[in-house]
Structure formats: C-alpha cells, structure tokens
C-alpha cells in the first residue's frame, strides 16, 4: 500500500493500537510522528522503529490541552510543512453505570475521544487543503455504533467522532481529502485489560471468533484507509471486531 515518504501523525502512538499503527505505517514507508502524552514510552516507540531502519520521531502532545495542540502543530509544520496522514488513535474510557459516572470523568472522556481529535484536525487541516490532498483516519469504537452497557459517555463521544468523520468527509472532499473511521471491538490493549476478568469473559463469549482482536489487525485497517488503496472511499466506518457487531 502506497504511503512511502508520506508524513503521518499518529496520536496515542506510545502503546496499544496507536503503537501498532505507527509501526505499520513506518514499515510501509511513511515518516511517522508519534504524538503522545507519555514521553518515555513515546521516545521508546520511536527508537524501536528507528532501529529497524524506518523513520519515526516522538513529539509530545496532550490532546486535551489547547496550548499543547498549538505547540505540536507549529513544531511539526515548521519542520515538515503539511502532513499527509492524520490518525486520531488516542482514546480512553471507563466502565461504570452512567448514573455513577462523575462529571469530571465525563469531561475527560469527551475531550479525549471527541473534542481533542476535532481540534487537532482543525489545526492541521488548512495546510492539507492548500496542498489539495490528505488522509484522515479516526479511531472510533463499536460502542459508538451500537452502544455499550457501562460505557454510555464513551459511546456518546465515539458516536460523535463517527458523525464528525462523515460530516467532515463531505466538507473536504473538494480538496481531495479522505476522512474515514475504523471502529475496533474488544482489542488486546492496556485499556481492555483494565476491565474486570468477569467482563472480559463475557465479551469473549459474545464474539463469533471467540477471541479478542489484536492491535495489528486494527492497524491493518487503518493502513488501508491511509493508503492510496482507499482513494475513492470517504465518510465510511469499518468495524474490526471479529463479528461482534454486524452493522448494515
């Protein structure tokens, strides 16, 4: 898939799906910018990719902080100009009944999963529009497509990200920019393994393949949307979930 020499920003790239995506894009020839709040893990991820003879660098980003988004954008555009690929991979949630979820946790979930990604895209988009090309891949969740008990606020934020994907795709198609969304089901990441064991077993029983997804399997779908193979695809949502949900 053609991403050779493309400049790719991947948020949440220090671990989990974001890390697998950064590694996959770098292996496919992209110059990857690892954007994450976790400095040590981000630098380690970049170093690991570099040791393979591939291109990556870590640039600090707190997707929940406007000042950080501005500084990040200015730094990478001063060095690289317009980016070619944006992968909004940063995300976080917490399983708890809706009525027990504190407002401050609501705020963190919504900013991290929806508002922050929108602000980052807004900051990077003008130069993509000037150049008349680009790929934006938002990492949503099946929770945002069909709902998820105990994740109501998270599902609402991811549902918003899906709607943002579709609406932005319509607005920027005239600039030859593709905007798509990948929605993982339960995937082997630190976020999943923070869930109590009894919930994990019920999740697994509900999946037709009877196993959790691997970060690499989600990264492969992201690579498709980031590459030239998807040039005539925009505003679409692809679930990677082992058949857990089958949305028409």
Please identify every residue annotated as catalytic: 154
SS (H, E, C) 66-79: HHHHHHHHHHHHHH
Helices within the chain (DSSP H only)? 16-27, 39-51, 66-80, 103-110, 116-131, 143-146, 152-172, 190-193, 197-206, 215-226
Say whether 87 sits in a helix, a strand or coil. strand
Distance of CA 201 to the CA centre of its chain: 26
Distance between CA atoms of residues 21 and 9, nearest Å: 10
Burial of 43 (0-12, 13-18, 19+ CB in 10 A): middle
Contact 91, 139 (CB under 8 A): yes
């Amino acid at each position: 898939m053609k991403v050779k020499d493309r400049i790719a920003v991947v948020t949440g790239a220090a671990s989990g799906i974001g890390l697998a995506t950064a590694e996959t894009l770098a292996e496919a020839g992209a110059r990857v910018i690892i954007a994450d709040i976790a400095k040590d893990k981000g630098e380690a991820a970049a170093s690991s990719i570099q040791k393979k003879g591939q291109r990556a660098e870590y640039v600090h980003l707190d997707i929940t902080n406007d000042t950080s988004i501005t500084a990040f954008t200015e730094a990478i555009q001063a060095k690289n100009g317009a980016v070619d690929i944006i992968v909004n991979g940063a995300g976080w949630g917490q399983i708890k009944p809706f009525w027990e979820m504190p407002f401050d946790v609501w705020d963190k979930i919504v900013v991290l999963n929806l508002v922050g990604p929108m602000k980052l895209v807004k900051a990077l988009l003008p130069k993509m529009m000037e150049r008349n090309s680009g790929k934006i891949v938002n990492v949503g969740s099946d929770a945002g497509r069909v709902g998820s008990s105990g994740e109501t606020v998270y599902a609402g934020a991811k549902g918003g990200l899906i709607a943002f994907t579709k609406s932005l795709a319509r607005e920027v198609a005239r600039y030859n920019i593709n905007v798509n969304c990948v929605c993982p089901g339960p995937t082997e990441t630190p976020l999943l393994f923070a869930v109590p064991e009894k919930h994990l077993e019920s999740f697994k029983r509900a999946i037709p393949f009877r196993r959790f997804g691997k970060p690499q399997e989600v990264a492969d779908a992201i690579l498709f949307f980031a590459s030239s193979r998807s040039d005539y695809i925009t505003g679409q949502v692809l679930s990677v979930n082992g058949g857990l949900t089958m949305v028409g």
